[in-house]
Amino acid sequence: MQVVHARCAGLDVHKKTVVACVRLLAPDGTLTTEVRTFSTMTAGLLALVDWLLSLGVTHVAMESTGEFWKPVYTLLEDSLTVLVVNAQHIKHVPGRKTDVKDAEWLAELLAHGLLRASFIPPAPQRALRDLTRQRSHLVRERATVVNRMQKVLEWANLKLAAVVTDVTGVSARQMLEALIAGQTDVSVLADLAKGRLRAKRAALEQAWRGNLAPHHAFMLAQHLAPLDFLDEQIAVFDGQIDAALQAADAPPSDPGAPPGEPGAPTHRPGPSGDGPSARTWRSARAICDAVPGIGPRVAEVIMAELGTDMSRFPDAGHAASWARLAPGQHESAGKRRSSRIGKGNRYLRAALIQAAWAAVKVKDSSLAACYRKLVTRRGAKKAIVAVAHTLLTIVYTLLKTGATYQERGAAAVDERQKDRVLTLMRRRIEQLGYTVTLEPIAVAAD
């Protein structure tokens, strides 16, 4: 088998150690391998880099094992070509599995060009990913606290959620605080409602008639404290993400750019494919924000996971496959088996599915029409995944072309499928033994 990389190395990364196997092929065909183990402390990783460079290694491969590969990649990416590969793609033959064997197998596969590198974005995008992913975790934790608080309200038979949309809104929050403080008069509690909620004061009085025990009030008070903390943390992350976007768009000589932040990552060629055609982060966020169902926060998640330069994906289908929003391919003996979408980038997929649920509620929109067309025969879950796939295709096209979103309307979906529907209906009528002639209805002049 042809050797692609004469000087390469495989790394088996663990929590405390890194086993490195260097594979050196001399011009006369002599093969030499060296194996060493290094600590994952910073000093040990720097020694690993020096050792690899001293041997003239040009390419390094390692598995994407949890979070342990990230500090190793950060120190190696400036000096070597690093491939982070999916562990499922390089399973060793069962038996005789050791750390050294794993490193040797990685080095051998890399030498013959049999490894496919995973997409690793440049450092500015990785920083944005860290921020948006941590914010997503905080939002999830906040939802958990709200659900726990809602459980306590149900235990006390306080039907606040049956009247208000958000039990943590301004009016609901004031009523909860008054309830915890000892206020039991339902008319006083209902009178704390603000805005349009004041029209529901009679329903609020009925909702607040329950059996609130002292331990219920205690638990509600304990849930409000972490809720305030999480709200504050989410707001801080929102500001930090916006500052990161501004710093990423600033030119290198801009004195306003924070120290240590790259000045123009979207205009600097890098290993991820970012080139001169890449758009600024803020303009990309505005493009995504204009799509139905996508707001600024979801747009930031899409940008952090997908990037702004679409040249790294050959087409929208590859982007959908990378995000695992495309049907799976599993065919054997001429039979199509499971077509589940599989596991992919869960942050991007969750954001797109969240946006899809919001998009299908927009009246007279093409996305809502697509959902209604699919939900009757495929079910709600598969239909919403299909809408998320369409959203990703739209975002990919807009970011690649720089165009703004133009709503086609619900009629555009029917117009696109008109010929196909007419053919199917005519064929079905003929199967029933009838002949049909189709003539368009003349539109009356105004």
User: Would strands 59-63 and 31-39 be described as parallel, antiparallel, or unpaired?
Assistant: unpaired
E-strand spans in 338-437? none
Same domain, 307 and 360: yes
Residue with tokens 């969240």: 354
Q: Specify the higher pLDDT residue, 420 or 292.
A: 292
pLDDT band for position 443 (50/70/90)?
low
**Residue 240 identity:** Q
pLDDT band for position 261 (50/70/90)?
very low
Whole-number Cα distances in Å, 431 to 421, 425, 426, 438? 15, 10, 9, 16
Domain count, the chain: 3
Mean pLDDT of 137-164: 94
Is residue 18 helix, strand or coil?
strand
Cα 320 versus chain centre, distance:
12
pLDDT band for position 116 (50/70/90)?
confident
Same domain, 298 and 237: no
Task: Give tens-digit pLDDT for 4-41.
Answer: 999 999 999 999 999 999 999 998 889 999 999 999 99
Whole-number Cα distances in Å, 249 to 150, 164, 368, 403? 42, 41, 35, 19
pLDDT at 92: 64
> Has residue 185 been placed in a domain?
yes
Q: Specify the higher pLDDT residue, 194 or 95.
A: 194
pLDDT at 419: 79
* Among the ranges given (127-141, 345-359, 405-419), the one the predictor scored with the smallest mean pLDDT: 405-419
User: Quick one: CA torsion of 405, 408, 413, 418, rounded to 10 degrees?
Assistant: -130
Task: Kindly report the average pLDDT of the chain as a whole number.
Answer: 86
Same domain, 150 and 236: yes
Task: Give tens-digit pLDDT for 50-81.
Answer: 999 999 999 999 998 788 999 999 999 999 99
| Residue burial 381-397, b: 16+ Cβ < 10 Å; e: rest | eebbbbbbbbbbbbbbe
Same domain, 130 and 238: yes
pLDDT at 88: 78
pLDDT at 425: 87
> Has residue 431 been placed in a domain?
no
pLDDT at 263: 34
Same domain, 35 and 93: yes
> Has residue 96 been placed in a domain?
yes
pLDDT at 325: 87
Candidates 35, 165, 178; CA nearest to 103 is: 35
pLDDT at 170: 92
pLDDT at 254: 43
pLDDT at 96: 62
130 neighbors 247 (Cβ within 8 angstroms): no
pLDDT at 193: 92
Same domain, 81 and 181: no
Q: What are the φ/ψ torsions at residue 43 (nearest 5 degrees)?
A: -60, -40
pLDDT at 93: 58
pLDDT at 259: 38
Task: Give tens-digit pLDDT for 195-221.
Answer: 999 999 999 999 999 899 999 999 999
Decide if pLDDT at 377 tops 70: yes
Write the DSSP symbol of residue 156.
T
Question: Which CATH number belongs to the domain containing residue 91 in this structure?
Answer: 3.30.420.10
The pair of structure tokens assigned to 379 is 């079910």
> Has residue 171 been placed in a domain?
yes
The pair of structure tokens assigned to 17 is 């150690």
pLDDT band for position 272 (50/70/90)?
very low
Task: Give tens-digit pLDDT for 295-347.
Answer: 999 999 999 999 888 888 899 988 888 888 887 666 666 776 666 677 778 89
pLDDT band for position 253 (50/70/90)?
very low
Q: According to DSSP H, which parts of 250-337 are helical?
A: 281-289, 296-306, 316-322
Same domain, 86 and 190: no
* Among the ranges given (37-41, 90-94, 185-189), the one the predictor scored with the smallest mean pLDDT: 90-94
Q: CB-based contacts of 122: which residues, under 8 Å, 6+ apart?
A: 265, 268, 270, 271, 272, 274
Same domain, 107 and 157: no
Q: Specify the higher pLDDT residue, 98 or 80.
A: 80
How far apart are the C-alpha atoms of 12 and 3, rounded to whole Å?
Answer: 21
pLDDT at 31: 92
How far apart are the C-alpha atoms of 231 and 216, rounded to whole Å?
Answer: 23
> For residue 157, what is the enclosing H or E element?
none
pLDDT at 266: 36
Same domain, 217 and 305: no
> Has residue 120 been placed in a domain?
no
> Has residue 267 been placed in a domain?
no
Residue with tokens 């409602």: 193
Task: Give tens-digit pLDDT for 408-432.
Answer: 887 777 777 777 888 888 888 989 9
User: Would strands 7-13 and 17-25 be described as parallel, antiparallel, or unpaired?
Assistant: antiparallel
Write the DSSP symbol of residue 343.
S
How far apart are the C-alpha atoms of 111 and 10, rounded to whole Å?
Answer: 9
Q: According to DSSP H, which parts of 35-98 are helical?
A: 42-54, 69-76
Mean pLDDT of 127-139: 95
Same domain, 315 and 366: yes
- Residue 267 burial by Cβ neighbours in a 10 Å radius (0-12, 13-18, 19+): middle
* Among the ranges given (69-78, 89-98, 361-370), the one the predictor scored with the smallest mean pLDDT: 89-98
How far apart are the C-alpha atoms of 371 and 362, rounded to whole Å?
Answer: 11
> Has residue 433 been placed in a domain?
no
pLDDT band for position 444 (50/70/90)?
low
Same domain, 21 and 46: yes
> Has residue 313 been placed in a domain?
yes
Final residue of a structural domain among 54, 77, 111? 111
Is residue 108 helix, strand or coil?
helix
Tell me which residue range forms the domain holding 137.
Answer: 125-249
Final residue of a structural domain among 62, 84, 111? 111
How far apart are the C-alpha atoms of 49 and 42, rounded to whole Å?
Answer: 11
pLDDT band for position 445 (50/70/90)?
low
Q: Specify the higher pLDDT residue, 159 or 335.
A: 159
Q: What are the φ/ψ torsions at residue 26 (nearest 5 degrees)?
A: -75, 160
Same domain, 136 and 75: no
CB atoms within 10 A of CB 189: 22
